[in-house]
Structure 1
């Protein structure tokens, strides 16, 4: 999918800094200058290790967190600094699906009320809201007759379908899906991934799909952005990123994805990263990946690489002084 049309979402230099846990602790820079565009109807995967800032980025986009700096332009309008009252009319177009389906659903409300609440807030009648809730139950593959049950009566996969139905209630143009399948069994994950892909195709909704499982991201996304320690280190079309990853961190992530062919799995090279990710409260100088990078050189330890096009004419950007461009 191309992104030549005006982006539906345009994020520039987005940062989020949390204060240290103690009075004298260094602040934690959870997101450090993230920039990307998302076209109408496109799905962008945001991947990386736990703690890299993926979820924080998603929550800032829907304004569940207030950005420290940077801009968030939705449909050409900067929403990063809007007051909650000004943001309210846009809430119907920006929705979120959360990681843990059960913790994101009110256990004291029926499914009908959970799905209908966004419509009731916007002035719909109780009868119309309930009718729409029944329609959405059927759309996401649930039995409409179960609309008066409570969340604890559903499995994890069913509860996530309820969360998706709630997100769809207001007819959004953009959904942020924050690890929507990581808390589910593998067989259920496939069902939810297929559901998200089908709904995106049928309804034309743009999606920021946050995950750490690259095999899932490959299934549903048009483009992929790889985050490391609060920064995007590689972003581009999934075909390029999966066949010829340019950043050493991307190559390491892909080498950890299991292959379905046992013979290929035994013979392929596995890239092992040394040590743990540095603390975002005390990031290393230069390229933040250099302490774990097998190809780090002197410049990597002193100068932070900019996110730039690795190969002229290629729709892929890499933040690396020495990007690789050959296929793996």
Structure 2
């Protein structure tokens, strides 16, 4: 057996923060071609992501929130090149990875990994836990023995019993299966992890355990996260900054505390009003903002501001002119009339 191409790294390896953003995304778009109908015609193309831009510093967490179908998961998959962007750029650690060939991208994949939403469907049912976790290492040139030892270390780090290393995914609960997925994402000692709704398929009690685990791993390993979710209470727990998406665009992005305490975009205010409060008296007193209608189709977005058909503050300019992200109250907001 040949020696590994690189020396096996220790499990906990803190990193110094870089001088610039670890991840810089600019004008990222994804347009899916329309499907063919029974008559042979193609339906309208779907613009799933429409000009998303943000920065992420090393060691920080950016929460990406919004309704189902707003483009959160598509954005996450483009960041790791599981989907090829239609346009825009993804710059990781100073290097544009959005147009690299697969051979040029392979050495960089060790630094960017992903945790998927459904823990069981993301694991190969025919492979043991040892093979699932060690596969990324084997691709990177590690020997089988070193990869197996690393897999056992990662199982212990993520709260699993190393003696279960030869079991199959169906022998684990949902929370345990997600820990396997997290261990797999850490195998190559990445700097950035894209977490695509990692707790939405789990029970509430298990959600807290996984969130606490990811927070501990971030502190110990110096990880940065893009944490994709629709549960704003979970995002508030884990994030440093929050970006709110609607119909493929970021409508508000900023520091977590200021965004939660003083939301500027009407859509953000509506989302936060739907988060349950632990105090029943406060829950009864507060105003619940109910949005009328359904989100427009990304295949036929409305002109102007995409939120104006559901916005209680919409005026004529909102129907004709699409707002750009502009500074407002210590963050950026895409709204003609931000604030109260």
| TM-score normalized by the length of structure 1 | 0.96
Distance in 2, Cα, partners of 1:231 & 1:27? 17
Distance in 1, Cα, partners of 2:69 & 2:163? 40
Once the two structures are TM-superposed, the CA of residue 24 in structure 1 deviates from its matched residue by 2.8
Residue equivalent to 1:49: 67
Distance in 2, Cα, partners of 1:146 & 1:24? 50
Residue equivalent to 1:320: 335
Query: Mean alpha-carbon deviation: is it higher for 302-311 or for 168-177?
Result: 302-311
Query: Mean alpha-carbon deviation: is it higher for 14-23 or for 156-165?
Result: 14-23
Once the two structures are TM-superposed, the CA of residue 111 in structure 1 deviates from its matched residue by 0.3
Which residue of the other structure, out of 8, 14, 22, is the alignment partner of 1:8?
Answer: 22
Distance in 2, Cα, partners of 1:148 & 1:50? 36
Provide runs of 4+ in structure 1 moved above 2 Å. Answer: none
Structure 1 residues 93 and 4, CA, compared in 2 at 3 Å: closer, same or farther? closer
Find out whether 1:17 has 2:31 as its counterpart: yes
Distance in 1, Cα, partners of 2:244 & 2:19? 23
Which runs of 5 or more residues in structure 2 are unaligned? 1-16
Q: Is the 8 A contact 2:127 2:168 kept in 1?
A: yes
Residue equivalent to 1:236: 254
Find out whether 1:34 has 2:52 as its counterpart: yes
Once the two structures are TM-superposed, the CA of residue 122 in structure 1 deviates from its matched residue by 1.3
Distance in 2, Cα, partners of 1:33 & 1:89? 28
Find out whether 1:121 has 2:139 as its counterpart: yes
Distance in 2, Cα, partners of 1:10 & 1:27? 27
Q: CA RMSD in A?
A: 1.1
1:162 partner SS = helix
Which runs of 5 or more residues in structure 1 are unaligned? none
Q: Deviations over 1:197-230 (max 9, x none)?
A: 1101111111100000000000001000000000
Residue equivalent to 2:7: none
Counterparts of 1:122-271 in structure 2, within 5 Å, are 122-271=140-289
Q: Is the 8 A contact 2:18 2:58 kept in 1?
A: no
Q: Deviations over 1:244-272 (max 9, x none)?
A: 00000000000000000000001110000
2:165 partner SS = helix
Which residue of the other structure, out of 86, 107, 113, is the alignment partner of 1:89?
Answer: 107
Once the two structures are TM-superposed, the CA of residue 121 in structure 1 deviates from its matched residue by 1.4
Distance in 1, Cα, partners of 2:240 & 2:212? 15
Distance in 1, Cα, partners of 2:99 & 2:18? 26
| TM-score normalized by the length of structure 2 | 0.93
